[in-house]
Amino acid sequence: MNRETVEKIYAGWLGKTIGVIHGSPIEGMGYYKINELYGEISDYLVKYEDYASDDDLNGPLFFLKGMEDGKKGQNTKAQDVANALLNYAPYEHSFFWWGGYGKSTEHTAYLNLRNGIPAPRSGSIAQNGATVAEQIGGQIFIDTWGLVSPGNPDLAAKLAKEAASVTHDGNGIYGGIFVAVCVSLAFIENDIRKIIDRALKYIPSDCEYARVANAVLKFHDENPDDWRACYLMLRENFGYSKYPGNCHIIPNAGVVVLSLVYGNGDYSDTINIGNMCGWDTDCNVGNAASIVGVMVGLKGIKKKWRDPVHDFLVFSSCLGAQNIQDIPEGALYIAKLACDITNDTLPEPYKSAYEMGHRSCHFEFPGSTHSIRTRVEDKEGNVLSSTNVSTVCNTKEESRTGKRSLKISLSDLNKESLSYIYKKTYLNQSDFTDSRYDPSFSPIVYPNQTISLSLKLPDGSDDVYASVYVKDRRSGVVYESKKTKLSCGGWADLEYKIPKVPGLLVFEIGAVIRTTKRSTKDVTIYLDDLKVSGKPDYSLDFSKEKFEIWRGARGEVSQVTKLKGIIYLENGEMNLSCADFTEAYTGDTDFSDYSSTFTFTPSFDDASYGVNVRVQGAMRSYRIALNRDNTISIEKNEYGYKTIACKPFNWQAGKEYTIKVTAKQNVIKAECDGTKLSYTDNDNPYLNGAVGVSLVGGAHVKVKKITVKGL
């Protein structure tokens, strides 16, 4: 794999994200209403403060993890992708539209899988009927299977067929194949019409999907300058009234092809035309944008589209720490998978960037910012919002490692002000202007870990002092390293080990910039290689947590992500209850070897109360449980729990217990009230993961405290 291919993967993932955000405000709106309200669209319709998660982005990334978890590479099958759906999607909330069995295609397939119906039968016409199976989801979640198969349309078609069949069938699968093949071909072909024509050869020529695509192409050949007339033809012959269900794939497939062919390879024209057509705008524009994004590369995506997105991206999986990412992180993950399945290696500087760790900010993608932000405060901590704080841009002028860094121009800096250069490491409802698909979060940085970064001043700069800092979400207190005077013309490598402050919730990390000058001045500074390393050592005391209200009455306990059930805070404890089963998770899936303690009170004696370690999702973890038959057990969840160690243990409802668990390499040890048990897992052990609590059987548990200490 070469650098250009890696950067086209980033352009495709970035392009997809921009397209989804561009289409979101008018999702479901019709052509005439859009024309009445907005007329000719040429820019974002809404400038989001930060855009919350979307199903069009959740699915592409987390379904792709089936390739990593299943370890089958090019031979990834439908059930591997189905396992990813079960593992990462919360149960009947967040992630995508849960419209009901028989109404929402994904909801239907999910419940089929949960109840033992395997893939691909889970999404088949034979199981669900054509109306359910041929809705739009077969193509909106599929772009990444093309990105992971750059220039290899045969592989893209093969993988897309398997992935789409988990939830869809018929034209739903054909749409998935078509889009993934278009994305794959865009790496090696720069004529959009040739891409479309070649991609259509991968689906049956007599299917309805091919019929609508060819109708659009024929109309374009005869009317190459009038996309609006083409849309009216599409609406008349293939509109929503012609097909059953909530959001059928065929009308929207027509819009995707229309926007591609009339956009004529121009990224802006393509996404604007797709938006002005209406219907499922975020889905259609997202697909078209990923295809053209790859084809034109980063140079073909204008700054006006990139700047508001600022590389920011969140998800709404059941794993809170995995819900905080940025676009370069996802792109590098996809590129590494693409290399792995072909026994290739990442080129420099991306190989070194990947080895820094997925939380790192390396700035190697041209134009990338990794969502680094700035602000200026006075010494009392008041934000000076009227001050022109800074500009942030990617540059190849300087680099600590690799080829690029971030250039930050700070304005009006003086001895009475502090400038913060930072990245958000925890989020809640106040950070968003909307709440699409209900994200929730756990921090991605913890006490006792180490933050490192590199800063450089250009030659001739005035005296500037810098320190590494973290900020507590609750108190607003800033903890920082000693101040270092930066030398002109040379890189300063700074680091800070986060103190083990009880209850510290890290939601910002970065650098504080100071000067001793009384008069205001402008300062240019370069930032590179921001990363987090080391072992966590912290406690989660639920008497200090908050119940965060999101949309309507929906609420989440801070730092915790719920799989299902009822969750709330009362009397300083987290309460979790269910009618059948439930789980809730916290911490980072990067945690490897650690000990953890859980202090909790089971409410009834007719259920199983568990604590979980090495949590990699809803279907991958270890569980230590107090069971209704008066035993304590270690269980492994490998797409279904299985008991791997068990001892007698008499426990009582209403009594508080503390379970200590040690997970070191492939050995799991547990202790409760003097009873010990352990298990050495030699069969595909989980070597990293978060922590959590779980119930089996209608029950209720009160959790007082969870601690995690890295080993």
Please tell me the predicted confidence (pLDDT) of residue 390: 63
CB hemisphere CA count around 386 (13 angstroms): 1
Mean of the pLDDT values across residues 101-105? 97
Q: Which of the residue ranges 388-392, 449-453, 486-490 would you say has the lowest mean pLDDT?
A: 388-392
Please tell me the predicted confidence (pLDDT) of residue 462: 76
Fold (topology level) of 539-710: Jelly Rolls (2.60.120)
Residues 6+ apart with CB under 8 A from 454: 400, 491, 492, 493, 494, 527, 528, 529
Report the alpha-carbon distance of residue 63 to residue 425 in Å, rounded: 24
Residue 364: is its pLDDT beyond 90? yes
Segment 90-101, tens digit of pLDDT: 999 999 999 999
- The single-letter DSSP state of residue 673 is T
Please tell me the predicted confidence (pLDDT) of residue 382: 81
Residue 160: is its pLDDT beyond 90? yes
Please tell me the predicted confidence (pLDDT) of residue 258: 98
Please tell me the predicted confidence (pLDDT) of residue 412: 72
Residue 552: is its pLDDT beyond 70? no
Segment 220-256, tens digit of pLDDT: 999 999 999 999 999 999 999 999 999 999 999 999 9
Task: Say if residue 365 is exposed, middle or buried (CB neighbours under 10 Å; 0-12, 13-18, 19+).
Answer: buried
- Per-residue pLDDT band for 521 (boundaries 50, 70, 90) equals confident
How do the domains of the chain map onto residue ranges? 3-314, 373-534, 539-710
Higher pLDDT, 204 or 548: 204
Buried b / exposed e over 256-280, threshold 16 CB at 10 Å, is bbbbbbbbebbbbbbbbbbbbbbbb
- Cβ distance 268 to 244 under 8 Å? no
Mean of the pLDDT values across residues 486-493? 90
508-to-94, 358, 523, 589 alpha-carbon distances in Å: 25, 17, 22, 19
Looking at the domain that runs over 373-534, which CATH code has it been given?
Answer: 2.60.120.260
Please tell me the predicted confidence (pLDDT) of residue 356: 95
- Single out the residue of 212, 224, 227, 192 nearest to residue 41, CA to CA: 227
Residue 619: is its pLDDT beyond 90? yes
Please tell me the predicted confidence (pLDDT) of residue 387: 47
Report the alpha-carbon distance of residue 137 to residue 157 in Å, rounded: 16
Mean of the pLDDT values across residues 43-55? 90
Report the alpha-carbon distance of residue 292 to residue 39 in Å, rounded: 24
Residue 645: is its pLDDT beyond 60? yes
DSSP string, 524-573: EEEEEEEEEES--EEEEETTS--EEE-STT-EEETT-EESSSEEEEETTE
Report the alpha-carbon distance of residue 163 to residue 593 in Å, rounded: 33
Please tell me the predicted confidence (pLDDT) of residue 555: 83
Mean pLDDT over the full length of the chain: 95
- Per-residue pLDDT band for 389 (boundaries 50, 70, 90) equals low
- The single-letter DSSP state of residue 705 is E
Residue 560: is its pLDDT beyond 90? yes
Mean of the pLDDT values across residues 46-62? 91
Matching fold, domains 373-534 and 539-710: yes
Backbone angles phi, psi at 657, to 5 degrees: -125, 150
Higher pLDDT, 136 or 48: 136
* Superfamily in which the 3-314 domain is placed by CATH: ADP-ribosylation/Crystallin J1 (1.10.4080.10)
pLDDT above 90 covers a percentage of the chain that reads 89
Report the alpha-carbon distance of residue 497 to residue 533 in Å, rounded: 9
Q: Strand 699-710 vs strand 573-578: parallel, antiparallel, or unpaired?
A: antiparallel
Please tell me the predicted confidence (pLDDT) of residue 181: 98
Segment 251-289, tens digit of pLDDT: 999 999 999 999 999 999 999 999 999 999 999 999 999
- Per-residue pLDDT band for 207 (boundaries 50, 70, 90) equals very high
